[in-house]
Structure 1
């Protein structure tokens, strides 16, 4: 299911990086893998945005960390906000939900990588849970 809001904006904590997203976006999954939990401080929730519908201002402030052979994560070099995840060569960039300005119009749809979730919390919202992706 796609959200009816067609244009959204996002920014890092300090505002050095600003993002515009055009067009409808799918609902999102929360990732509970160990890398995402370390990256975000808890659960990573983001929405994939096709690169041709994504405009980023302040790209010089983005630092990319290659977190695996297939993916990298982007953060602000000024304030440290964790903002992006992208699979190498996939054609879209996941934008962190916490960086998107309200109203987002997005809804969490499912949980992924729950077999790797932290032992300090339970997932009890009734949404589908995938052991992996």
Structure 2
């Protein structure tokens, strides 16, 4: 089991089972939502349990995706395509070790010009 929370602690969550290797999304929407690239892991929705969900606010960033954040502290927590059976959770929101390693970079064609990706992991333009 893995636990996490927002910065102020109004939202806590737990994920049952192991976490999938995370990816880092460099698209402009993820960068604006998180302040940099968005590293996240995909979890089956039935394995995520949220407490304080009354503090989760959702922003529909496109017709296919909504993004969840804390209404008190603003922490970026979730990337949710409602039509899918999974939700992505921000890696930085987990408390303690996740026992994962970043697997790949996506949307690198949109990355910011202020940094380089030099970790040797696969990079997908989209």
* Dislocated runs of 4+, deviation >2 Å: none
Q: Give the TM-score taking structure 1 as reference length.
A: 0.93
Shift of 1:89: 1.3
2:53 is aligned to: 59
Report if the CA contact (8 A) 2:108-2:124 is conserved. yes
> C-alpha distance in 1, partners of 2:89/2:23?
12
- For residue 24 of structure 1, report the CA deviation from its aligned partner: 1.6
Out of 12, 17, 22, the position equivalent to 1:23 is: 17
Question: So what's the TM-score if we normalise by structure 2?
Answer: 0.98
Query: Cα distance, 1:93 vs. partner?
Result: 1.2
C-alpha displacement at 1:25, in angstroms?
1.8
Distance 1:58 1:49 in 2: 19
5+ residue gaps, structure 2: none
Q: How does 1:1-133 map to 2 (within 5 A)?
A: 7-132=1-126
Once the two structures are superposed, residues 36-64 of structure 1 have per-residue CA deviations (whole angstroms, 9 ceiling, x without a partner) of 00000001001111111110000000000
Name the SS of the counterpart of 1:129 in structure 2. Answer: coil
